[in-house]
């Protein structure tokens, strides 16, 4: 007799995974979804297989807040390995060029301000950017020539942690769409040498940091109850978004997609984005216009 399919759970929340080395983000989501038996799961910001660190994984209704986390600032600690550039701009690729030139710490400190603020960078050829409907890395692996357009990204800070002739460790706080591999490549070229990312760790995404991160080993060793206790609330993804509180019949109206007039002397009149709550739970994400909350994404918790 065929074994029945594992029943999917309607469970919602955020699992702040400390992604291990040599695992894709898609594989990580699949493993977490299976461990929780969740009906739905997704992640908020891809990490390369060779990168480790914070990968926020949304279960159930939390997937509706994924865009809010993706738009949040990220923090990366990474090492530039000096002397070689690679096809992938990291340690996985084949060597393209070599250089014996090494920059001093002072030279590095001098040019780092040029890589903060609004920075123009060309993404790595081996990236998930789509070209004519295909992923750039798929085209590159197939031997096709890929030309990606330059884009402007925001890097709010870039701190030098350590420096030697073999590698330099930096910490970057940056916005959505920033490629650390491109940053390392461009810094090396600006210094008249070659380099690639030797190691990369993401330490924060939006309001999620290492403080509440869980390893895959911890997840696998935990009971179902222990795993459930590791989840953050759905609303934990909305710390940077203003909250408006609903009362009584307003909740039903918003859950049906209808706008409601906000009550109270301190009620906001205009907000480009806000989240509506009832009894501490998120009901919807939307905007406030002329004192009325208009839902855009409704949560069924």
* CATH code of the domain covering residue 59: 3.30.2350.10
> Which domain range does residue 22 map to?
13-72+207-236
163 with 47, same domain: the answer is no
Residue in 48, 89, 90, 186 annotated catalytic: 48
pLDDT digits (tens, 9 = 90+) for 177-214: 999 999 999 999 999 999 999 999 999 999 999 999 99
85 with 193, same domain: the answer is yes
User: Is the full-model pTM beyond 0.85?
Assistant: yes
98 with 195, same domain: the answer is yes
54 with 84, same domain: the answer is no
pLDDT of 2 higher than 50: no
> Do 15 and 231 contact (CB within 8 A), yes or no?
yes
Which ranges in 16-130 belong to alpha helices (H)?
A: 25-36, 66-70, 105-111
The CA–CA distances, whole Å, from 231 to 13, 75, 166, 214, 236 equal 6, 22, 40, 10, 10
Q: What is the percent of the chain where pLDDT is above 70?
A: 98
Q: Is position 175 within any domain? A: yes
pLDDT of 26 higher than 90: yes
132 with 212, same domain: the answer is no
* 48 is an active site residue: yes
197 with 149, same domain: the answer is yes
Average pLDDT over residues 231-251: 94
Domain boundary among 218, 236, 254: 236
What pLDDT is recorded for position 152?
96
pLDDT range class, residue 301, cuts 50, 70, 90: confident
107 with 196, same domain: the answer is yes
Dist CA 69 CA 239 (whole Å) = 10
Q: Is position 7 within any domain? A: no
């Amino acid at each position: 007799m065929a074994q029945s399919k594992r029943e999917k759970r309607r469970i919602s929340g955020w699992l702040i995974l400390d992604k291990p080395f040599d695992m894709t983000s898609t594989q990580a989501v699949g493993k977490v979804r299976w461990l929780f038996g969740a009906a739905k799961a997704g992640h908020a910001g891809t990490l390369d297989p060779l990168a480790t660190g914070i990968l926020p994984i949304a279960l159930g209704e939390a997937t509706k807040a994924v865009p809010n986390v993706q738009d949040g600032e990220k923090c990366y600690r990474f090492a530039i390995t000096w002397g070689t550039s690679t096809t992938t701009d990291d340690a996985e690729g084949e060597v393209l060029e070599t250089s014996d030139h090494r920059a001093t710490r002072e030279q590095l400190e001098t040019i780092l301000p040029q890589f903060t603020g609004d920075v123009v960078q060309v993404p790595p050829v081996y990236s998930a950017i789509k070209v004519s409907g295909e992923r750039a890395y798929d085209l590159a692996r197939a031997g096709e020539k890929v030309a990606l357009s330059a884009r402007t990204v925001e890097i709010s800070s870039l701190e030098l942690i350590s420096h030697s002739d073999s590698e330099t460790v930096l910490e970057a706080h940056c916005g959505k769409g920033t490629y650390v591999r491109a940053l390392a490549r461009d810094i090396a070229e600006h210094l008249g040498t070659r380099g690639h990312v030797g190691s990369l760790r993401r330490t924060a995404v939006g309001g999620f940091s290492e403080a509440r991160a869980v390893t895959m080993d911890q997840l696998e060793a935990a009971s179902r109850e222990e795993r459930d206790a590791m989840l953050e609330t759905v609303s934990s993804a909305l710390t940077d978004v203003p909250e408006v509180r609903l009362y009584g019949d307003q909740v039903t109206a918003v859950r049906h997609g209808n706008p409601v007039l906000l009550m109270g002397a301190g009620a906001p009149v205009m907000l480009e984005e806000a989240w509506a709550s009832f009894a501490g739970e998120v009901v919807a994400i939307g905007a406030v216009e002329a004192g009325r909350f208009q839902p855009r994404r409704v949560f069924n918790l």
